Amino acid sequence: MTTLAWLISALALLLGLTAGAALARRPSHGRPSPGTGRPPADPVAADGPTLGELLHRTFRQSSSGLAVVGAGGEVLLYNPRAVGLGAVSGERLDPRALAACRRRPRGRGPAPGLG
């Protein structure tokens, strides 16, 4: 290796170490602020909707019929499209949809005829 290559390598190493040290000293959102023992306030979270609110909005505004069904077959949550499709009526799941839910093993995608 030539002297120039060694010099460039040494400068790159020095630059990398300096940048790493500067980034390590910067406070992050997940770590407590020095001396306070608590995480810094997140201004984005204070102004925007929570994760639960975003999921609820997405669920309600979906163009697909969605229903969350408990282990006993009770409807826990549904959107207007599920009512429009006839899958949910009067807070009750259609018996055919309930039978399809029970036929399908968990974690294997939509039940046959429902996806």
| pLDDT recorded at residue 38 | 60
- Which stretches of the chain are DSSP H helices? 3-25, 43-47, 51-61, 80-84, 95-103
Q: Is the pTM value of this prediction over 0.75?
A: no
| pLDDT recorded at residue 99 | 86
| pLDDT recorded at residue 55 | 84
Q: How confident is the model over 67-99, as pLDDT tens digits?
A: 888 878 888 888 899 999 999 988 889 998 888
pLDDT in tens, the chain (115 residues): 688 887 888 888 778 878 887 777 776 665 555 555 565 555 555 578 888 888 888 888 888 888 888 878 888 888 899 999 999 988 889 998 888 877 766 666 665 555 5
Choose among 76, 57, 69, 78: nearest CA to 100.
Answer: 69
